[in-house]
């Protein structure tokens, strides 16, 4: 945004389910001076892409759905249909581990994913299971968040900062540099 200006950005959301979700996004969009498009199905997506085709950066927020929700497959299908030009980021809450992690994330592995975002590191400083899951799938970490403030608590991945949020010193661990990023 700072580099390319608000006219280069548009926000899309398919999250029409959460009460006041779209209103909340509209408030952020108004502050930033960028348009919001609400996507209720493939035709909306097609129309919105036509309207915003001059924008260099289009961010699409999808609805968080339970693996048992039948709308999930539909959402994954249209995300997949957008092809290789779409970069897909998987949001992984840092506290997930074991079977919950496997079950929640399983449907998203069908997608061709570019990277992950680790959230709620402040609530779960021991996020080894989530990091191991990402490393096994060779999914790089692009960002992490450690609080509710937007945008102050969202950080591009820097290992020193992530380890700091986990209250670890870099020298206490074997992880230095960007080895997960490269994994």
What's the distance, Cα to Cα, between the start and end of the chain in Å?
28
Position among 122, 137, 159, 175 found at the interface with ligand GTP (CB under 6 A): 122
- Percent helix, strand, coil in the chain (nearest 5)? 40, 15, 40
Q: Report the residue number whose CB is nearest to ligand GTP.
A: 64
Q: Does 119 bind ligand GTP (CB under 6 A)?
A: yes
Of the two residues 4 and 17, which places its CB atom closer to ligand GTP in the complex? Answer: 17
Q: Does 15 bind ligand GTP (CB under 6 A)?
A: yes
Number of residues that bind ligand GTP (CB under 6 A): 13
For the chain, counts of helices (H) and of strands (E)? 7, 7
> In 6-149, which residue ranges form alpha helices assigned H by DSSP?
21-32, 42-51, 71-81, 98-105, 128-136
Stretch that binds ligand GTP, among 49-57, 66-74, 114-122, 167-175 (CB under 6 A): 114-122
The CB-of-91 to ligand GTP minimum distance in angstroms stands at 5
Interactions with ligand GTP, residue window 125-164 (CB under 6 A) = 145-148, 153
The CB-of-68 to ligand GTP minimum distance in angstroms stands at 15
Q: Does 113 bind ligand GTP (CB under 6 A)?
A: no
Question: Which residues have CB under 8 Å from 39's CB, separation 6+?
Answer: 12, 13, 14, 45, 48, 60
Three-class secondary structure assignment of 106-142? HHHHHCCCCEEEEECCCCCCCCHHHHHHHHHCCCCEE
Q: Does 120 bind ligand GTP (CB under 6 A)?
A: yes
Q: Does 13 bind ligand GTP (CB under 6 A)?
A: no
Q: Does 7 bind ligand GTP (CB under 6 A)?
A: no
One character per residue 35-74, x = contact with ligand GTP (rule: CB under 6 A): ----------------------------xx----------
CA-angle at 152, arms to 132 and 142, nearest 5°: 30
Q: Which residues bind ligand GTP (CB under 6 A)?
A: 15, 63-64, 91, 119-120, 122-123, 145-148, 153
């Amino acid at each position: 945004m700072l580099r390319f200006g608000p006219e280069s950005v548009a926000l899309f959301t398919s999250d029409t389910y959460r009460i006041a979700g779209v209103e909340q996004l509209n408030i952020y969009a108004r502050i930033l001076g960028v348009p919001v498009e609400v996507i209720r199905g493939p035709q909306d997506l097609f129309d919105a892409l036509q309207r915003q085709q001059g924008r260099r950066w289009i961010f699409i927020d999808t609805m968080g759905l339970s693996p048992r929700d039948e709308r999930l497959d539909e959402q994954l299908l249209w995300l997949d249909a957008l092809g290789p030009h779409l970069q897909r980021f998987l949001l992984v809450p840092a506290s997930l581990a074991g079977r919950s992690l496997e079950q929640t994330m399983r449907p998203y592995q069908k997608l061709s994913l570019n990277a992950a975002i680790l959230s709620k590191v402040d609530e779960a400083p021991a996020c080894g299971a989530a990091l191991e899951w990402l490393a096994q799938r060779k999914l790089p970490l692009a960002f992490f968040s450690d609080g509710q403030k937007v945008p102050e608590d969202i950080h591009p991945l820097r290992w020193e900062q992530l380890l700091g949020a986990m209250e670890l010193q870099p020298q206490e661990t074997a992880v230095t540099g960007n080895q997960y990023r490269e994994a």
